[in-house]
Structure 1
Amino acid sequence: MPAQVPALLIAIGFVVCWSSGFVGGRLASELDTPVLDLFAWRFLLAALLVALWCRLTLGTLPAIRDMRREMLVGSLTMGGYLLGVIVAIDLGVSVGITALIAALQPLLAAALAGRWLDERLGAYGWLGMVLATLGVALCVGDDMQRSLAAPGWAYLLPLLSVAAVTLGSLLAVRQPSVLPLPTALLAQLLAAGGIFLVAAWVTGGGKLTAPGFEPAVLVTMSWLVVLSSLGGYGFFVASLRRLGVTLTSALVHLTPGVTLLWAAAMFGERLGPTGLAGMALAGAGAGLAIRSARRSGPTRRGPDARRGPRTWSADETRDAAHRAPSRVSPY
């Protein structure tokens, strides 16, 4: 199989499954069970399934002390990220707009990755980022014109999510994990579950509401566990390890369009003319940024890290890319 095909499949899987998380948040907000409680149960169930995966594939369960660093990453990329997103959706921010605001994450990631990871973004990449940001601003303005729009401060919550997932991503790639993918995913799910348990306990007055067994609850939990947790974060970890922070962050710009399709089909959410123009501008900027995403500079590798596969940019030949060392350890 050509080396670029697995990378392409990872990128597609990441975009589709990552966008499903925003739709899952909207599904959860429509249930009688408090949304934070439902998400706490979601992460605990997903962690149980991944623990079984670890037991079957690795023959043992990892010790907590071996997962502490991955749990720190998960508390940011899962717990902190989703807490802001879900509360924003619950307050009335539309699903598509929440995804668009979260797609500002590449700007911060690109700004910090150059200093921390020596992952450079060229001039056209920065132009793409700026265009995408302007598109997001147009969409947010369009969304705030609605009569049922959320309070203005609610639109700041996804920005906090952006900061959390960016810091977690940089931490994950700056010091690549040598843990197998199931173990890394289990650690991150446990950390996110802990954050939502605390949030649900605080907002619920010390109580945690158990979800029922109604069809809507079962569908929502299945969506959140299979697509959003196992799919979304499994592909997220894989994308960080194979594609790097800059390209993974650029792919985030593609999730609002996919999310908007989900939301239009399932909830009837549609952007106005200004919002559609903003979406088109954001998509064009994302495409420009993805095309320009590349890696350069020295590589930081741990003494036990193995050499892993590496993708290459449009202005780099395949042979040159494979002669360069890889920054991330494979799983």
Structure 2
Amino acid sequence: MTQTPQENNNILAILAPGTFVLIWSTGFVFAKMALPYAETMTLLATRFLIAVGLLLLISFIWKAKWPKTLMQTVHIAMAGILLHALYLGGVFASIELGLQAGVAALIVGIQPLLVAFTAGIFLKEKITIRQWVGLFLGVSGVILVVWAKLENGLGTPLGVSIAVIALFGISIGTVYQKRFCGEMDLRTGAVIQYTAASIPTGILAYFTESMTINWTGEMIFAMFWLVVVLSVGAISLLYVLIRKGAASKVSSMFFLVPPTAALMAWVLYDETFRSTALIGMAMTVFGVALVNLRPIKRLGLRTRPS
């Protein structure tokens, strides 16, 4: 029996947001897979430049629109530096410094909380009692998990600090993009953002790293996943979701990212969470859910692919 276009749209609305969240979650475990073969900034600069080439091709094939003014381009580039260079650079560097992938995912996973409160301050959105409760639970849960991990020698204070910097990068970048890049085409915008992000990461790689990559089979697979599946595939899926009006459902499911990433890290790298850390993760997930299920939808904020 042939399905109607409406039925196909309903299936997309149900399955695609969960698929996007699942793909987003893989970014943390594939970062850990790639880092033994390349230093952080070298890995990211290479990833960004490969993604630029693929997205340029996609933009020309689909005849995507480019920004009309120089100021629009500057705003998109600035958002890209915050969302990719600062956020991804922080996540990758924290994992390279020994922070578990699941813990890194949990720390930056409270991004919807900071976005809601940053929007409340700068965009004059009302902050509700439920949001305050969610913020308290989310932050308390992260502190509990980090304390438990550091007490057991899993990670370093420096790695945690860099992950927190990444958290602020994606939180401020999300609000910045909403404020200044609302009309951005996700394909050409991604070209500009990845190009902009490749500049500071490339400079840091040149002055602080050896800029060598060991192209093993595992490294090639990890780079393929990071570029094609995440940087290109996720951005394309998000573009479809936005056109179909389902982007808000992605935001409402964002609280599932930390436990999903932690489960993947447990399967692939035997990263475990003991009772205290599990309680902390549950608190954080519930706190983010309290904030995220309605207020983020109201704000219309877009979840960024990693």
- Report the TM-score, using the length of structure 2 for normalisation: 0.83
Q: Which residue of 270, 274, 279 maps to 1:272?
A: 274
| 3-state SS, counterpart of residue 58 of structure 1 | coil
1-structure distance, mates of 2:69, 2:201? 19
2:227 counterpart residue number: 225
Which residue of structure 2 aligns with residue 191 of structure 1? 196
Give the alignment's Cα RMSD to 1 decimal.
Answer: 3.2
1:90 aligned to 2:96? yes
* CA positional deviation for 1:243: 7.7
Tell me, what secondary structure is at the counterpart of 2:98?
coil
Q: Structure 1 stretch 17-26 or stretch 259-268: which is displaced more?
A: 17-26
**Residues paired across the two proteins, number:** 294
Q: Report what 2:61 is aligned to.
A: 56
> Post-superposition shift, 1:262?
0.9
Indicate the larger mover: 91-100 or 51-60: 51-60
Distance 1:157 1:237 in 2: 30
Alignment check: 8 A CA contact 1:135 1:282 kept = yes
Higher helix share: 2
User: What is the rounded CA distance, in whole Å, between the counterparts of 2:103 and 2:173 in structure 1?
Assistant: 23
Specify the SS of the correspondent of 2:62.
helix
Q: Does 1:208 align with 2:214?
A: no
Q: Deviations over 1:212-257 (max 9, x none)?
A: 4421111111121123322445566788996889x87665432110
Q: CA deviation at 1:276?
A: 1.1
- Contact 2:27 2:230 (C-alpha < 8 Å) held by counterparts: yes
Contact 1:116 1:174 in 2 (8 A): no
Following superposition of structure 1 onto structure 2, how do residues 272-291 of structure 1 map, counting pairs within 5 Å? Answer: 272-291=274-293
Amino acid paired to 1:52: L
Q: CA, structure 1 residues 203+130, in 2 after alignment: closer, same or farther (shift >3 Å)?
A: same
1:97 offset after TM fit, Å?
0.7
Letter aligned with residue 201 of structure 1: Y
How many Å apart are 1:72 and its aligned residue?
1.1
Structure 1 residue 4: deviation in Å?
8.0
CA distance in 1, matches of 2:134, 2:14: 21
Secondary structure, aligned partner of 2:207: helix
Task: Between 8-17 and 123-132, report the one with greater CA deviation.
Answer: 8-17
2:120 is the counterpart of 1:114: yes
* Corresponding residue for residue 32 of structure 2: 26
Q: Take 2:79 and 2:151, find their aligned partners in 1: how far apart are those partners?
A: 36
- Partners in 2 of 1:250 and 1:16 — Cα distance? 14
2:77 is the alignment partner of 1:71: yes
Instruction: Tell me how far apart the structure 1 counterparts of residues 239 and 122 of structure 2 sit (CA, whole Å).
Output: 19
Please list every run of 5 or more consecutive structure 1 residues that lacks an aligned counterpart in the other structure. Answer: 298-309, 311-326
CA distance in 2, matches of 1:14, 1:80: 22
Residue 235 and residue 127 in structure 1: after superposition, are their counterparts in 2 closer, same or farther (change >3 A)? farther
1:102 positional shift: 0.9
Inter-partner Cα distance in structure 2 for 1:280 and 1:83: 27
Greater length-normalized contact order (CA 8 Å, ≥ 6 residues apart): 2
Residues 1:100 and 2:106 aligned together: yes
Partner of 2:255: 253
Q: Shift in Å at residue 19 of structure 1?
A: 1.6
Distance 2:151 2:284 in 1: 19
- Cα drift, residue 13 of structure 1: 3.8
Residue ranges of structure 2 left out of the alignment (5+ in a row) = 1-5
Match of 1:16 in 2: 22
Report if the CA contact (8 A) 1:103-1:256 is conserved. Answer: yes
CA drift at 1:113: 0.7
1:133-178 Cα deviation digits (max 9, x unpaired): 222111111211223x332122111111111112211111113443
Change (3 A) 1:283 1:140: same
Closer, same or farther: CA 9–130 of 1 in aligned 2, 3 Å: farther
SS at structure 2 position matched to 1:258: helix
**Contact 1:185/1:234, CA 8 A, preserved across alignment:** no
Relative distance call for 1:106 and 1:90 in structure 2 (3 A) is same
Q: Which residue of 1 aligns with 2:174?
A: 169
Pair 1:35–1:115, CA change in 2 (3 A) = closer
**Percentage of pairs with the same residue:** 27
Of 128, 153, 156, which aligns to 1:151? Answer: 156
**Greater CA drift, 6-15 or 21-30:** 6-15
Determine the C-alpha separation between the residues in 2 that align with 1:240 and 1:125.
25
